[in-house]
Amino acid sequence: MFLAERDRWALWLPVLCGMGVGLHFASAIEPPLWSGVAALLVTVALGFASRRRPLALVVVIGLGALVLGGAAAQWRGALVAAPVLERETKAITVSGRVAQAEPLARGQRVVL
């Protein structure tokens, strides 16, 4: 049955990329930025090594789509990352105009 669906295998590539994105965000740790590129290079090398074995090539292409999704999520996250405070700060003074105020269970959320 799997071989009979051969003309539809390409439709699984976006699904596998999405699964790679999901696995990246489900991970408890943030891997180093170079690891996504390294994983892509390894899958490309595996693809070249398995190009004469059709079943192995199909598996490697699927793995490559999974890795591509995870690497894309990793790079996008790095591009849009907001600055993070390295240490806890004491009271600070902030000035601006209040755009929105929202009461919370404990305190308020204020958008300046």
What is residue 23's predicted lDDT score, i.e. its pLDDT? 94
What is residue 17's predicted lDDT score, i.e. its pLDDT? 95
What pTM value is reported for the model? 0.70
Consecutive 10-residue averages of pLDDT for the chain (112 residues) = 83 94 91 92 94 91 95 92 81 87 87 86
DSSP, residue by residue, 46-99: HHHHTTT-HHHHHHHHHHHHHHHHHHHHHHHHHHSPPP--SS------------
